[in-house]
Every structure is written in structure tokens, then in C-alpha cells.
Structure 1
Amino acid sequence: MPNVFVESSAIQGVTAAITGETARYILTVLRYKTGGELFVFDEMGRFFKGIISSCAKNVVHMSITPHPPPMTESPLSITLCQGMLKGSKMDLVVQKAVELGVKRIIPLITLRTQLDYTRKIDRWKKIAIEAARQSGRVIVPEISEAMDFHALTQSIQVAGATAIMFYEGGGKGLKEIQNLEIKEQTIYAITGPEGGFMSEEVKRAEFSGAQIVTLGSRILRAETAAIAALTLIQFVFGDMGDSRQG
């Protein structure tokens, strides 16, 4: 049974009134009619089983009951700190990061960032919602406002947070840090923009306590590096390498 995201404001007690793009998706893509059953989740992580009680061109009314959510969330809380990418590349990273189980995405302003990001946050939030729906998640990751690289490393240092910076210029192999103690099961994965990180940024990240890790001898495109990094983190520290998960 498919699941769809709705704003919590659409849910009133045991009913939900779904409008806009979500209603069109239910009616024109899923081709559901009165009596159709589907799952519904909202930004608060609530999960319901719904039955369509009535539908029109622009609105779908449902009766809903709480339902146990699927076990699709990683035990690891990953924050992806992604150096801003041009064009559709950032869209791709947001989509795949959500599919790979991140809890939060921070667009990162680095020394090599020269982008106007202010109009894109809402777009990335929509991409995150759709990716969460497609991948069967019931938690939509947070898309934070863009953060300066220096501010990020300061916050990591102050909090004593676990952080891994993936650097194309070298570093430890991921196997070397597979016994890394993950503070509160939370980890920051830091990946660079086109052109990668500057050496002073790497030094700053290392000073803040971040582990500097290499993805191998080949130079990866920025979007490839982000996907590879998240996959490896989930395999080593999260739920991809554990047959007991899922």
C-alpha cells in the first residue's frame, strides 16, 4: 500500500482533508477513488492508515487511524553537511541522501562556494518529502538554512560531536575508524563542493575534532562522493551492514 505525506494541519482527529499536489497525486497518479486505502504520514513522524471517504477534483477526504510505522529509520542519526553544488546536482544529493537515511541536511558555504541558494531551500524540502515517500520513510529529514563552513566546525568543536570529513586529497581509510565511538549515535558527514575543499578548511575541520577520510585514489564528482560517503557510513556504523535491521 502506498504512503503519502500530508501537513499536520490537514489532520483533524480521525479525519484528514488532503488538497493541492498531494490530492492530485492520489487521484491522477495512484488513480485512487472512494474506498481506496493508503498510509499517511506527517512532519511530526505520525503514521496512519487511511480510507478515502470522498474525493473531488482538488480535495481528498479520508478517515484515518493510527498505525505502527514501518521500521525504515536507521539507528544512526546522520547530518549531511554538503558543500553547495550547482544546478540539479544539489537536487540529486538531497534526494539520494534522504533515500540513504539521513536525518538532516545542511547546505554548506565553503571557500569554493559561489551560489545563490536563497530560493532553493523550499525546492529541496519538496524533494526531501518525495524521497521520503518513495523510500518508505515516515520521517522527512530537515533541510537547514545554509551554514558557513567555519560556523559548522565551531559548532562541532563546542559540542564534541562525531564528524567525518571526506577529502579527495587523502586521509584515513574508513576501515581505520570503524571502531570510532559515535557520540549519541549522531554523526556529521562533511562532503565538498565542485573543486573540493581548500587545505585550510581541512586543517580547520581536523582541529575541530573531525576525522579526515579518503574515498580512495580516484577523484569522484561531488555528487558521487556524497552518495558514496553516506552509503559507507550506513554500512560501517548504521543499518546497511546489519542483517538484524529491516
Structure 2
Amino acid sequence: MPNIFVESTAVQSAALTITGETARYILTVLRYKTGSELFIFDETGRYFKGIITSCSKNAVQISVTPHPAPDTESPLSITLCQGLLKGSKMDIVVQKAVELGVKRIIPLVTARTQLDYTRKIDRWKKIAAEAARQSMRVVVPEINEAVNFSALTDAIRADGATAVMFYEGGGKGLKEIQNLEIKEKAIYIITGPEGGFSSEEVKRAEHSGAVIATLGNRILRAETAAIAAITLVQFVYGDMGDSRGTSDDMTEKKRLEL
């Protein structure tokens, strides 16, 4: 059964009404009707099993009951700090980062950011919600407002947080960062914009306590670097190295999507 995201304010009782794009998705894409079952989740991590009780052209009424959530959240709390990217590249990073299990995304304004920041937070939140639904997550990651690089490093230094900056100019290899002491299972991953980080930003990150790491000798596109960095960190410290089996529901979902 599919996961459907709703705002937490929508679930105030044992019944809810879904309208707008989500209702159209249920009715026209899934082709669900009265009696169909589905799962409902919100941004707080609440999870419900739902049964459609009635539907019209633009609205779906659903009866819901609390249900155990699937075990799809990583034990590692990853904050991706991504230098703002041009065009649809930032959309791609948000989507893939959510699929890979990050808990929060902070857009960064850096020295080499190649665009004037335009407010796209609402767009990225919608992308995050859809990616969470597709990947069977039960928590939609937080998308923060954009911050300056200096503000980020000041916060990391003040909190004593674990942070790794992936820098195209070199740094420690993966084998050298496999034994980080991760405070409260939370880590910042910092990746740059199209032009990469300046040497001053690297020095500032080091001063804040961040580890400077490399993804190898090849120069990766900014969006590729972010995806690779998250994957590596999840493998070493998160749940990608686990041997947990896939649930029957998720196996069936993947089969249907092939």
C-alpha cells in the first residue's frame, strides 16, 4: 500500500478529508476508490492505516487508525549543508538526499554561489514530502532557510557538532574518517556549489572543527558529490551497512514499480 503525506493539522480525529493535488493523485494516479486501503503519515512521524470511506471529484474522505510505522529511518541524524545550485540541480539534491535518509537540509550561500538566492523553500518541501512518500519514510526532513557559510561554521563550532566537509581540493580519505566520534549520532555533511569551496571557507570549516574529506581524484558534479557523500556516511555510520531484511510490503512496492 502507498504512503500518503498530509500535514499534521489535517489529522485531528479518526477521519480526515484530503483535497487538492494529493486527492487527484489518489484518484487518478493510484485509481483508488471507496474501500481502498492506504497508509497516512505526517511531518511529526505519526503513521496511520487508512480506508477510503467516500470520494468525489476533488476530495477523498478517509477513516484512519494509528499503525506501527515501518523501520525506514536511519539511526544517524544527517544534516546536509548544500551550497546553493543552479536550475533543477538543487531539486535533485533535495530529492535524493531525502531518499538516502537525511534528517535536515540547510541551503548554503557560499563565496562561489552562482546565483542570487530566490525563495524556493516551499518547492523543496514539496519535493521532500514526495521523496519521503516514495521511499517509504515516515518523517519528512526539515528544509531550513538558506544561511551564510560563516553562520553555519559558527553554529558548528558553538555546538561542538561532528561535521565533515567534502572538498574537491583534497582531504582525508574514507578509511581515515571511519572512526569519527559522532556526538549524539548527529553529523553535518557539507558539500559545495558548482564552483566548489574557496580556500578561506575550507580554513574556516577546519577552524570550526569540521573534518575535511575527499571523494577521490575525480572532480564530481556538485549534485553527484552530495549524493556520494551521503551514501558513504550512511554506509559507514548509518543503516546502509546493516543486514536488515526488506519488509514484504516494501518488496511488493518495489516489484510493482519495476
TM range (shorter): over 0.9
Q: Does the CA-based 8 Å contact 1:239-1:245 persist in structure 2? A: no
In the alignment, what sits opposite 1:237?
A: 237
SS of the counterpart of 1:204? helix
Fraction of identical pairs, as percent: 80
The residue aligned with 1:39 is 39
Q: In the comparison of the two structures, how many residue pairs are matched?
A: 246
Instruction: Give, in whole Å, the separation in 2 of the partners of 1:202 and 1:195.
Output: 13
What are the residue-to-residue correspondences of 1:70-109 with 2, within 5 Å?
70-109=70-109
Deviation string 1:77-118 (CA, Å, 9 cap, x unpaired) is 000000000000000000000000000000000001132333
* Residues 31-76 of structure 1 deviation map (CA, whole Å, 9 limit, x = unaligned): 0000000000011110000000000111100100000000000000
Q: How does 1:1-246 map to 2 (within 5 A)?
A: 1-244=1-244
Does the CA contact (< 8 Å) of 2:100 and 2:230 recur in 1? yes
Q: TM-score, normalised to structure 1's length? A: 0.98
Greater CA drift, 107-116 or 57-66: 107-116
Distance 2:67 2:216 in 1: 44
In the TM superposition, what is the alpha-carbon distance from 1:245 to its structure 2 partner? 7.3
Deviation at residue 17 of structure 1 after TM alignment: 0.7
Partners of 1:113 and 1:189 in 2: CA distance: 18
SS of match in other structure, 2:154: helix
Structure 1: which 4+ aligned runs deviate by more than 3 Å? none
Q: Distance in 2 between matches of 1:68 and 1:96?
A: 25
Displacement of 1:9: 2.1
Q: Post-superposition shift, 1:244?
A: 4.1
Query: Partner letter of residue 113 of structure 2?
Result: T
The alignment partner of 1:95 has SS state of: helix
**Distance (whole Å) between structure 2 residues aligned to residue 235 and residue 245 of structure 1:** 16
Return the alpha-carbon distance in structure 2 between the equivalents of residues 242 and 56 of structure 1: 44
* Residue identity matched to 2:146: A
Structure 1: distance between partners of 2:244 and 2:29: 35
SS of alignment partner, residue 16 of structure 2 = strand
The 3-state SS of whatever aligns with 2:117 is coil
In the alignment, structure 2 segments of 5+ residues that lack a partner are 247-258
